[in-house]
Structure 1
């Protein structure tokens, strides 16, 4: 009798899980929403219901990629010392990372930088719509000094500042001027997490921050290797090592046969997610 009872219970439990997977309306609504977004052309602004509040986006492909990485895979998860972590979001785009952190820790002190005027307006709207008007939003790019640089808008998540180190040489005629600011001056207090996804400016910024990263507990940097620029990943890794970080690297563009296969994506032949953290 006991064996029969356990089997019945197991079958009932399995059936409940199966029905929950099949019938769950939230799951199906998200699947339908993903399908709807995939049907959009690139760089077409719209609003999505994938988060718990309406969220504006500027490009569905980049949004879906970021949503999966941030909200499903939780690439930016970390363990803060308390419920009020201090976070810097460098290259906030429409704000998905900022929203992720604020939903986990509503009292988090988040400063978000985004230089693209059109994208910044969407970032600001999303933070207010989700009930986070306390996020410190700064409409500037990050660089090694304060001032103004030319900016190549992308209409998605790959807009980038330009100077002699970062110019692509493609002769774009849609550049605009944006204000830039030194990151180093924002590192004068403890930072639980520093995120840098700044489309090629990361080497310049981190070299300028050398000696100022002792206040940072966790650091994420997306390293961009553009085909027509010098590779500087060694400089990035040296700065992180000399600042006392342990490093974990996840490659995003992986060639099966690197000696004969030359990958290219948005002008890049390689891209790395670099996670830097302190020993516990």
Structure 2
């Protein structure tokens, strides 16, 4: 936790939240919903630590930054949570069309509030989980940024509706963001034949310690469909031969940036 707080403590963060708000948020325990200010507007959060880390990663680090000549890019945000990604995209391209998915009903309401508060009510939001078919699934409510389709042993479960991502890919997609906590492989596999319509893909890859790793399968699909990928660490062990600490039962998380080769 000390290392994460040190990472968060970057004076550039005060572009987005005031010093007073920052100091207040740092003292709030995990998984406590509070009201704050973001870009000087009313804003709701579900977890102060992941909110501040999200600012550092998305707005300061700009991991979703991309260039396009399209003034109206179509962006799909799978795993929108409280809206930081969609807000970043809307600031980057104000005339973009964004379709965002958030399955947790409580977080979905916060997502809607935050977008409205920042004048971004034109973002199309869906209270469903992205999946490889239209159905209903058991969903683990983590309470912050890591809710996911349920796995064996999970508690705090709810039932959610799903949207088949493939049904949206019959048109040109300028940016596809997939951060769906371990469901990325079955979704990407189902969408493979339509990835030809996607220009850029961001995937947060999750390796669950009890399941077969499928990073190689995801990379193979991206390569077969004409993408060149770049990988950065998201959550890794400092000494993987000695120990692999778990974060919500994931022993590895990687950020995959895939751009269509010309």
TM over 0.5: yes
Higher gyration radius (CA): 1
Give yes or no for contact 1:90–1:112 (8 Å, CA) kept in 2.
yes
Alignment partners' CA distance in 2, 1:207 and 1:58: 32
Q: Does the residue aligned with 1:132 lie in a helix, a strand or coil?
A: coil
For 2:4, the equivalent position in structure 1 comes to none
Shift, 1:253, TM fit:
2.4
1:228 to 210, 227, 230: 210
Shift, 1:218, TM fit:
0.6
Give yes or no for contact 2:236–2:251 (8 Å, CA) kept in 1.
no
| CA deviation profile, 1:225-248 (whole Å, cap 9, x unmatched) | 111222111111111111110000
Shift, 1:141, TM fit:
0.4
Give yes or no for contact 1:253–1:263 (8 Å, CA) kept in 2.
no
2:131 to 139, 143, 146: 143
Q: Does the residue aligned with 1:49 lie in a helix, a strand or coil?
A: strand
Ranges in structure 2 where 5+ consecutive residues have no aligned partner: 1-10
For 1:261, the equivalent position in structure 2 comes to 243
1:85 aligns with 2:67: no
Give yes or no for contact 1:112–1:136 (8 Å, CA) kept in 2.
yes
Give yes or no for contact 2:17–2:39 (8 Å, CA) kept in 1.
no
Give yes or no for contact 2:140–2:154 (8 Å, CA) kept in 1.
no
| CA deviation profile, 1:5-62 (whole Å, cap 9, x unmatched) | xxxxxxxxxxxxxxxxx9x9x6696333222111111111112223242211111111
Alignment partners' CA distance in 1, 2:203 and 2:240: 23
TM-aligned CA distance change 1:82 to 1:228, over 3 Å: same
Between the two proteins, the alignment pairs up a number of residues equal to 251
| TM-score, scaled to structure 1 | 0.85
1:199 to 162, 181, 184: 181
Q: Does the residue aligned with 1:55 lie in a helix, a strand or coil?
A: strand
Ranges in structure 1 where 5+ consecutive residues have no aligned partner: 1-21
Give yes or no for contact 2:102–2:127 (8 Å, CA) kept in 1.
yes
Q: Does the residue aligned with 2:119 lie in a helix, a strand or coil?
A: coil
Alignment partners' CA distance in 1, 2:254 and 2:185: 13
| TM-score, scaled to structure 2 | 0.91
- RMSD over aligned CA atoms reads 1.8
